A = this chain, B = another copy of it.
Amino acid sequence: MQEARGSGRKPARKQQQRSIRTRQKLLDAALQAFSENGFKGTSTRDIADRAGVHHPLITYHFKNKEELWRAAADKVFSEFTALLLQARQQAADFEPRERMAEMIRAYVRYASRKPALHKLMLQESSQSSPRLDWLVRMHLKPLYEVVVRELETLQTMGIAPPGDPALLFNLIRVSSGGMIALALEIRDTSGLDLEEPDKVESLADMIVDLFLPGRDGAAAAAARAG
């Protein structure tokens, strides 16, 4: 930190801050653009325009298009996973069914707040690519490993329905994320507006009821016995 004090040193810090803001704006614009048009379908010029900066700045801050994609994806997915694990943490003392229910609700709510995340994921999953490999390895698989184990527990307790846990996990996931990613089309074909918060809650509730039909605690055991 060779510019801690003295006169005429503020410009440097101001530049740093501007640089950070430019990075942020580019990341936000990139996420939006990539989620709408896919990797191949978006031009770096479009991203620069959305961010309100000149396009050579992308090269300056992120080296190239691929790195920009990765940075943008990493940002949302990290945010998403953190929020999900936080919801799980907060529900640590709950009964197993309620803990999973809270995670599902957190999942649906975040998906609805950041539809770009699921749009991005769907765009990239339509074809194998280094980006999909990276996404699976860095974000999707780690989350899967954690959650599927809890789902299996819920299955043995009779709370989640029987069957392949991998199938069950992914059904819950696409039921949440897919609905959000398709929100535009769903509104047009069936008049259901998933941007309204109460509709989002209805969606979360329906998913919980569908995928966790069993009950918690003694009631569940009793129900199975009798």
Contact of A38 among B123, B182, B199 (CB under 8 A): B123
Q: Is the CB of A166 within 8 A of B182?
A: no
Interface residues on A, range: 35 or more
Interface status of A195 (Cβ within 8 A of chain B): no
Cβ B125 vs Cβ A185 within 8 A: yes
From A38, A121, A161, A178, name the one whose CB has the most chain B CB atoms within 10 angstroms: A178
A166, B190: Cβ atoms closer than 8 Å: yes
Say whether chain A's binding surface is mostly helix, strand, loop, or mixed: helix
A112 at the interface (CB under 8 A from B): no
* Complex: A137 Cα to B14 Cα, angstroms: 52
Q: Which residues of A contact B (CB under 8 A)?
A: 35-42, 119, 121-128, 132-133, 135-136, 140-141, 144, 148, 161, 163-164, 166-171, 174-175, 177-179, 181-182, 184-186, 188-192, 199, 202-203, 205-207, 209-211, 213
